[in-house]
Chain A
């Protein structure tokens, strides 16, 4: 599904501030695989996600998504295949637009007309049904501006926006880090549920080692821009929080 071949990224190359964020990363995600990604601050996790989503271009290497070379594809074109959630709940939604309007921006289908006015009844009913699955009562507030929701509610809607069009790849960058423990747990459950239901290929960054080991089927660790651990199956089952912390 996703293949990274020898990806490098150096910020401020050729200056005294040069920083190697990604140092020859090779990675392959199989279709339907749910991978958790851990690593210390500045180890290159966000940079890795950004090169895949097109936030910036890699300095070297190739990125293949479902067989297509997307290394130089502009960000908005990749976004068709990639759903994304950030740590900051503000980043994923437009605050001065309603929940329904936000969802309709994310919900693009073949045959959409640019000048179609408003959101159709059928679409509204569909959004309602989707929102109801979040169990946050948001289905009755579809005309509320996004900016009036709490961080957790926003992150839940963002999750929905990232997945209504079933992406080929879902990338989550510490998407529960800004939430209180109970809400974080709830969003995490929701994430797991959606990934399972749609059979999504997913890559989730987290600093919470227990959930990194509990969720998904494979755990990767980064350090200084390199992948230093890639555990699945039995190897992963034998991993403990203590063992993983020693590797940081």
Chain B
């Protein structure tokens, strides 16, 4: 792997760590594999790109996060008040957000940002150089988001959100409104996903209506790689593990590509990683049960 490929992979990994953190909040904390984040990712990129195109990249980031959190609220509303199954609520919100993203982008499926002032070119002009900022800015943002999440999940509200994913019935019995905690959790998850989208658009120089496709699986794969390497311990530990997992995922991809692996296969491999990791307990169980059966058969005759 060349140096350029390596740094590129780390940069992308740091940005996509945000998406993995969004999925972490939805899936690991709240127990909802929320597909809405795919839509929020694209909507965030779209919103951010429109603001970049009008010369306001910083406001674009904030606006993107707002868009994402709104998508999260819609999904949470469907799940709680309207009792739509979580997966279906995610699919509905994600599908609807496609139209919203197109609308945000003024009906164009693609907004090029190559000639615009992005956060990276702006910071590059202010000091250091653009190349440096392409590494430094994602790193800073991931550290900030990780730290804020780590603190938040130890506040009273954060504890309530965590408990909602752990034992919803108990949370309601403790006089906490689980509709509110789910709304909070999914709004946060989707705001982070949208932040990721906005950064990616500025990093790669364009926003595309289809850029979110399959991103949930990519984020889940990052999460699972992180957990497989570092294990699951405290919330703060897990946040770190997910972040590093996302970087490692990108490094594995870069390595695979440097060995001339057909990029068309990448998504299938990501899906395989996720499916294998999630079914691991079932497979292990089947394996040990079979072993016991074999031994029993042998001792019988």
Contacts and interface: CB of A to CB of B under 8 A. Distances in A.
A84 B173 contact: yes
Interface in A58-103: 74-80, 84, 90-97, 101-102
B175 A77 contact: yes
Contacts of A102: 163
Nearest to B166: A94
Contacts of B160: 105
B155 A117 contact: yes
Contacts of A181: none
Nearest to A95: B166
A75 B174 contact: no
B134 interface: no
A78 B174 CA distance: 10
A197 interface: no
Contacts of A75: 172-173
Contacts of A117: 151, 154-155
Contacts of A15: none
B174 A116 contact: no
Contacts, number: 73
Contacts of A233: none
A239 B53 CA distance: 84
A105 B163 contact: yes
Nearest to A81: B175
B171 interface: yes
A94 B167 contact: yes
A76 B159 contact: no
Contacts of A113: 156
B169 A108 contact: no
Given A80-B175, A108-B174, A161-B174, A116 B156 contact: yes
Interface residues on A, range: 20 to 34
Contacts of A104: 156, 159
B209 to A, nearest CB: 37
Interface string B140-173: 0000000000010011110110110011011111
A79 B163 CA distance: 16
Contacts of B154: 117-118
Instruction: Say whether chain A's binding surface is mostly helix, strand, loop, or mixed.
Output: loop
A91 B172 CA distance: 11
A106 B156 CA distance: 11
Given A115-B156, A117-B151, A117-B154, A97 B175 contact: no
B175 A116 contact: no
B110 interface: no
Contact of A94 (B162, B175, B177, B178): B162
A12 interface: no
A149 B171 CA distance: 19
A92 B159 contact: no
A114 interface: yes
A147 to B, nearest CB: 9
A235 interface: no
A112 B178 CA distance: 18
Which residue among A80, A94, A95 has the maximum number of chain B CB atoms within 10 Å of its CB?
A: A94
Contact of A105 (B159, B169, B177, B178): B159
Nearest to A114: B157
B273 interface: no
B100 interface: no
B215 to A, nearest CB: 27
Contacts of A162: 173
B8 to A, nearest CB: 37
Contacts of B177: 74, 76
B52 to A, nearest CB: 32
B155 A76 contact: no
Given A53-B173, A101-B163, 10 more contacts: A79-B174, A80-B175, A94-B162, A94-B163, A95-B166, A95-B167, A101-B162, A106-B174, A114-B155, A116-B155
20 contacts: A74-B177, A76-B178, A79-B172, A80-B175, A84-B173, A92-B170, A92-B173, A94-B166, A95-B167, A96-B162, A96-B166, A97-B159, A97-B163, A101-B159, A104-B159, A105-B160, A105-B171, A117-B154, A118-B155, A161-B174
Interface of A: 53, 74-80, 84, 90-97, 101-102, 104-106, 108, 112-118, 161-162
